Amino acid sequence: MRITDLSFYCKITVALLGVLLSSGLQAQTAYSSDIHYRINEYRLDADYKGNSTAINQIDSILSLFEIVHVDISSAASPDGPKDFNEKLAQKRLNHLVNLLLSTTTLSPDKIRNASSHIDWERLAELIDTSDLAQKDEILAILRAEEASAEGENDKRMQLLKRLNEGKAYKDLRTAIFPHLRYSAITIYYNQPDTIPTTTVTPELPLSPIAEEVKTDEAEVEAMPIVPLTSAAKPMRRNHYWNISTNMLYLATVVPNIAAEAYLGKGFTVKGGWTYTWLKNDKRNKYWRLYGGEVELRKWLGKANKKNPFGGHHIGVGVQMGTYDIELTDKGQLSHLTTAISLYYGYSLPIAKRLNIDFGAGAGYVTGNYKKYVADHGCYVYQSTHKRKYFGPTKLDISLVWLLGRGNANPKYIR
């Protein structure tokens, strides 16, 4: 049976969109907060640096909203032996996870990422934005000394301790290191139709803090574990999006750009534009192409749980454009050609905020086009035809730049 009515394919597209949207798109919201620790401690102290406020806010979200997933990362400062700090960061992570599971409604399957580390990256960021007297010299040491797996702390810390006879290191211990003893928790949850009144607590300013006194093991064991209680309900929205360019199109001298935004529940919407307008009248060569596309995607698999733009994805899209192509003395001109496609792809992370997206689409292409012949600078019309084509419609190897707060590939985050 031959089908020539484009409306039939439009109906198919609408039906496919309905299936993809049947699960319902909800705006996903994220709340992030840091919980801080005293020096050498892994148990939570509610009276330290505003922890009680953060705890109450966390519990409010966990008890009132539909939780999508939770990410937790615990850190230790580089002050002291590397092995001790790594174990301390892991203890902080374990203690916080156990506390959340035992005193809130959070279930273990909702914890997507849980990691611990010595936070050299935040150390450099805090120093760079501080007003420390010798911050340039300190940053130079951090950047010049390449860390090794065996002695990551040793060389850099030794040089820092020698700087200005130890005065610079003393400033680090009072003004910077206390901000590196923390656990960062990010809760992703679905925003309801009715949004409760929210209270957002401003972040604490970076300022010198007197060095804490280490407690002994008996005091650690006696330290109370504060139960989480309902309080304010803060909301901090994450925005995940990217821009990309198809490198295969660039190879054929067809500049293009696209932007993609995350909608929630694994859905994204992508829009792109392509434009090239090359000609050489003396040789009767024309390469003219421009148009746009819109695509709705559904991301699948384990990789997507770690990043909204990672792993396998399927989609349905519409492409529309015009072209005038003449590579010999014969050419084709179309004022409007439309393609309705199904799409499959896989996005491979290559850096913290860079992916390569491989994909292909197939579907139905339709549109009128004219054939002409170039003869001594004149373009002689020959005939008009109707294009009706089933088959491949798109081939994609795109460089993708991840943008937005928190939009990064986890494996490249220290």
Q: Determine contact, residues 90/72, Cβ cutoff 8 Å.
A: no
Same structural domain for residues 36 and 132?
yes
Same structural domain for residues 290 and 143?
no
Which has the closest alpha carbon to 333: 375, 291, 385? Answer: 385
Which has the closest alpha carbon to 396: 364, 357, 353, 363? Answer: 357
Cα separation, 231 vs 183, whole angstroms: 20
Could you give the strand order of the β-sheet that contains 111-118, starting from the edge strand earlier in sequence?
Answer: 28-36, 182-190, 66-76, 111-118
Q: What are phi and psi of 227, to 5 degrees?
A: -65, 145
What CATH number did the domain enclosing 52 receive? 3.30.1330.60
Same structural domain for residues 336 and 217?
no
Cα separation, 88 vs 233, whole angstroms: 31
Distances (CA, A) of 42 to 81, 152, 203, 326, 368: 16, 22, 22, 71, 70
Same structural domain for residues 260 and 142?
no
Q: Tell me the one-letter amino acid at 212.
A: E
What CATH number did the domain enclosing 397 receive? 2.40.160
H or E, element range at 342: strand 330-351
Which has the closest alpha carbon to 141: 131, 127, 129? Answer: 127
Residue 221 has which token pair? 């064991």
41 pLDDT above the threshold of 80: yes
Q: Determine contact, residues 116/97, Cβ cutoff 8 Å.
A: no
167 pLDDT above the threshold of 60: yes
Which has the closest alpha carbon to 13: 258, 270, 363, 389? Answer: 363
H or E, element range at 359: strand 354-375
In a domain, 8, yes or no: no
Cα separation, 13 vs 339, whole angstroms: 11
Cα separation, 206 vs 209, whole angstroms: 9
Same structural domain for residues 159 and 260?
no
Same structural domain for residues 247 and 332?
yes
Q: Which residues pair with 292 in a beta bridge?
A: 273, 320
297 pLDDT above the threshold of 60: yes
- What pLDDT is attached to residue 366? 95
- What pLDDT is attached to residue 173? 87
In a domain, 340, yes or no: yes
Average pLDDT rounded to a whole number, residues 350-376: 91
In a domain, 290, yes or no: yes
In a domain, 116, yes or no: yes
Prediction pTM value: 0.46
Looking at the structure of the chain, the number of domains it has is 2
Same structural domain for residues 115 and 251?
no
Q: Distance of alpha carbon 318 from its chain centroid, rounded?
A: 25
Same structural domain for residues 190 and 284?
no
Which pLDDT band holds residue 412 (cuts at 50, 70, 90)? low
Assign residue 369 a region (left: φ > 0; alpha: ψ between -120 and 50; beta: otherwise): beta
- Lowest-confidence segment of 5-9, 178-182, 332-336 by average pLDDT: 5-9
Judging by DSSP bridges, how do beta strands 111-118 and 241-246 pair with one another? unpaired
Q: Is 177 buried (19+), middle (13-18) or exposed (0-12) by CB count in 10 A? A: buried
Domain residues for the domain of 349 are 239-412
First to last CA, the chain: 58
In tens, the pLDDT along 307-360 reads: 788 889 999 999 999 999 888 888 899 999 999 999 999 999 999 889 999 999
In tens, the pLDDT along 227-251 reads: 433 333 333 445 789 999 999 999 9
Same structural domain for residues 392 and 348?
yes
In a domain, 10, yes or no: no
Q: What are phi and psi of 62, to 5 degrees?
A: -60, -30
Which pLDDT band holds residue 296 (cuts at 50, 70, 90)? very high
- What pLDDT is attached to residue 25? 47
Same structural domain for residues 278 and 310?
yes
- What pLDDT is attached to residue 251? 92
